[in-house]
Amino acid sequence: MNRCMWLTPLLALLLIGGCAREPEKERESRTLKPDALKATTAKSRAPSGKRFLVGVSLVREDDAFHQTLRQAMQEEAAQNNLELDIWSADSDPQRQRAQVEHFLAQQYDAVLLCPADPAQTTALLQRALAAAMPVFTLNTAVPGGEAVSHIASDQRQVGRWLAQRLAQRLQGRGSVAILSNARGEDARERRIGFREEMARRAPGIRLLEAQSAIGGRTEAQRLTGALLAKQGRSLNAVFSSDNDSALGALDAARQAKRNDLWIAGYSGAPDALPPEARAQMLLVEAVAQPDRIGRAAIQTVALYLKGDKDIPKRVPVPYAAARP
């Protein structure tokens, strides 16, 4: 780990995308731990006489995260009598819609979807529901979507983990600004977890009103720069709910020569942080486990198609703490 002279403390979290006063009540949903799910799935691996066809639409396939995810799904499908037809949306919501429409037209047994744009995926889920097609989402949740189950890392726990590490580094005192990506349900869950854990662990830390960084890295840089100009040295850290916001906050800290500003960030992909940024950071990393996400997704689909309709709405997959 390279510790840069201009930016001493920086916290970045990589795992597996609100308003200022969003509700923080825990949503009621059944969950099943992946290990328990795997044990249950093993009981259904006896030949059922039918090979199920599952259409899979991934956001992309040209990075390490999705390549690992794909391989894990293929390996697990072979053990569960599933045939996968895997497509890539190449980050294009319109292309993904065409892929799902193809799955529906060909009457596949189920669809596994990694949403390219969660906001545009809700209508797809509603159409699949009307056609009695079971759809499962993984890695990125769809707000208001009617998926059979969502398989991903526990985003609320990610927020709690960030709060724990940041509270330790601030020694329970100071002010933390929150950069918010309001579009994503996953980002919302991270913010809720962060607020809950910070209130429990470090009530002496003041959380500033959430700032909307929907514009990505550029907007996050502008917002952080304005906060630094207004708050001065009384601002001790920035919590961002997505990777672009964290990088934008880093840009602002560099411009303001704030080498004492902590930045807590998150990304679902292990390789999402640019090498040049990695070389300039003191990192605390939690990394997504796409292999476990992929296997848990296939196990969940297999259970459903083999007759278990009492499927948990959420299947949380642990993340790995690479650097504490």
pLDDT in tens, 283-303: 445 567 889 999 999 999 999
46 has a pLDDT exceeding 50: no
pTM of structure: 0.69
Greater model confidence, 111 or 10 = 111
Contact call for residues 57 and 87 (beta carbons, < 8 A): yes
For residue 319 the two structure tokens come to 């993340």
Closest among 316, 212, 290, 236 to 14, alpha carbons compared? 290
Residue 108: the pLDDT is 97
Q: What is the mean pLDDT of residues 73-78?
A: 97
132 has a pLDDT exceeding 90: yes
Q: Of the ranges 12-26, 253-267, 286-300, which is most confident? A: 286-300
Q: What is the mean pLDDT of residues 41-52?
A: 55
Q: Share the mean pLDDT of the chain.
A: 79
d(CA 314, CA 310): 12
Q: What is the largest CA-CA distance in the chain?
A: 68
pLDDT in tens, 192-220: 999 999 999 999 999 997 778 777 788 88
CATH numbers and ranges of domains, the chain: 13-19+155-287 (3.40.50.2300), 50-153+289-315 (3.40.50.2300)
227 has a pLDDT exceeding 90: yes
For residue 304 the two structure tokens come to 């459903």
10 has a pLDDT exceeding 50: no
59 has a pLDDT exceeding 50: yes
d(CA 16, CA 150): 13
Per-residue CA distances from 123 to 13, 146, 248, 255 (Å): 32, 10, 32, 42
Helix, strand, coil percentages for the chain (3-state, nearest 5): 40, 20, 40
Contact call for residues 193 and 25 (beta carbons, < 8 A): no
Contact call for residues 159 and 199 (beta carbons, < 8 A): no
pLDDT in tens, 89-107: 998 999 999 999 999 999 9
79 has a pLDDT exceeding 80: yes
d(CA 238, CA 265): 8
Residue 141: the pLDDT is 84
For residue 111 the two structure tokens come to 């669809």
Contact call for residues 108 and 120 (beta carbons, < 8 A): no
Greater model confidence, 300 or 66 = 300
